[in-house]
Amino acid sequence: MDLVLIEALKVDTVIGVYDWERTLTQTLELDLELATDIRPAAAADDLARTLDYAAISERIAAFGATSAFALVETFAERLAALLQQEFGIPWLRLTLRKPGAVSAARAVGVSITRGIWHEAN
């Protein structure tokens, strides 16, 4: 398997457990590693045969705009499931950072891997 990458994607969303966090939008930062076999797309030079990182980035922005979770864990879990289902992604790693949430830290967040990795043949 190969990886399609999306790094440091900024996503605006309502997120947080405290009352003040329910009244505003905050910006999360996402890194994604999306498993796929890139050889068919490379052989045909055809976007339709790979994971379109632009389309996926737009879908993530829409997900953020319409969600309002308390925990970053919930955001990450629901987004991972949505991406796997809608784009047919067999394995992914999603790292989510919430900059500014802990003033002494550059960022806090979670990193999850979901799905099954298939070795290339």
Ligand X SMILES: Nc1nc2c(c(=O)[nH]1)N=C([C@H](O)[C@@H](O)CO)CN2
Footprint on this chain of ligand X (rule: CB under 6 A):
16-18, 21, 71-73, 98, 101
Active site residues: 98
Residue 94, beta-bridge partner list: 32, 112
Residue 102, beta-bridge partner list: none
* In the complex, minimum distance from the CB of residue 9 to ligand X, in angstroms, rounded to a whole number: 18
* CB nearer to ligand X: pick between 85 and 103: 103
* CB nearer to ligand X: pick between 2 and 29: 29
Contacts of 31 (CB under 8 A, 6+ apart): 5, 6, 7, 8, 9, 93, 94, 95, 97
* In the complex, minimum distance from the CB of residue 64 to ligand X, in angstroms, rounded to a whole number: 14
